[in-house]
Amino acid sequence: MNSAIGTLDADLLSEVRETPATLDAFLAQVERRAFRMAELQLRHREDAMDAVQDAMLRLVRHYRDKPATEWAPLFWGILRRRVVDLQRRRKVRSIVVGWLGGGHDGDGGELPVWEPADPGQDPLGRLHDVQSYADLAAAVRQLPQRQREAFMLRMLEGLDVAETARAMGCSEGSVKTHLSRAMHHLRDQLEDWR
């Protein structure tokens, strides 16, 4: 598994621990990683862009006066909640549209039928034509949501246990449990890459 993680964008991983001096610098630093995390969970490029943009705006509006050391857990917590909100909306929308069909707008015009995101090969797999990355992404996607969040925040974003707990809104013990279970699952799934 170490070789699979090593192939992930080393340039992005090297930036993880630096604390930027300004909020603009912080947002520029996490922008690509946040987009990848959101896209991996939502499997829809436009929804991922919306989630990241909304998380950035909320951080600027509500937390710009916080110390720079608090920006990372705050941002990742905001993004996590936004992703969950979008997943809930998508699920409700698919149920309603499934029952009612496309429907009609207020003027009697037909509304388009909503279609879920393409469950085929994910955009990251096409973008990074590296088999180890595609395998890792697939294995991470199979994790339950809380395990996936703990893994991505701790291992890929480099947050410590306390920061991850604040971002996820749970105890440090829960973070450790989720991460342990995620690592066990990933070791089993990526045995061929050892």
CA atoms within a 13 Å half-sphere pointing along the CA-CB vector of 82: 24
Rounded distance, CA 13 to CA 25, Å?
16
CA dihedral 69, 159, 76, 32 (to 10 degrees): 100
Predicted pLDDT of residue 108 = 54
The answer to whether position 124 is within a domain reads yes
Q: Tell me, what DSSP letter sits at residue 64?
A: T
pLDDT digits (tens, 9 = 90+) for 142-157: 999 999 989 888 887 7
Instruction: Compute and round to an integer the Cα radius of gyration of the chain.
Output: 18
Rounded distance, CA 98 to CA 11, Å?
43
Q: For the chain, what is the mean pLDDT?
A: 77
Predicted pLDDT of residue 89 = 81
Structural domain boundaries, residue 160 = 2-106+120-193
The answer to whether position 146 is within a domain reads yes
Rounded distance, CA 150 to CA 168, Å?
8
The answer to whether position 19 is within a domain reads yes
Query: What CATH number does the domain containing 143 carry?
Result: 1.10.10.10
The answer to whether position 115 is within a domain reads no
Segment 22-33 mean pLDDT: 91
3-state secondary structure of 62: helix
Segment 37-60 mean pLDDT: 91
Number of structural domains (the chain) is: 1
The answer to whether position 111 is within a domain reads no
The answer to whether position 113 is within a domain reads no
Predicted pLDDT of residue 97 = 52
Predicted pLDDT of residue 27 = 92
Helices then strands, each counted (H, E), the chain: 10, 0
pLDDT digits (tens, 9 = 90+) for 70-111: 898 999 999 999 998 888 887 766 655 554 445 544 455 555
Give the tokens for residue 133: 């990355």
The answer to whether position 155 is within a domain reads yes
pLDDT digits (tens, 9 = 90+) for 167-183: 889 999 999 999 999 98
Q: Is the pLDDT of residue 61 over 70?
A: yes
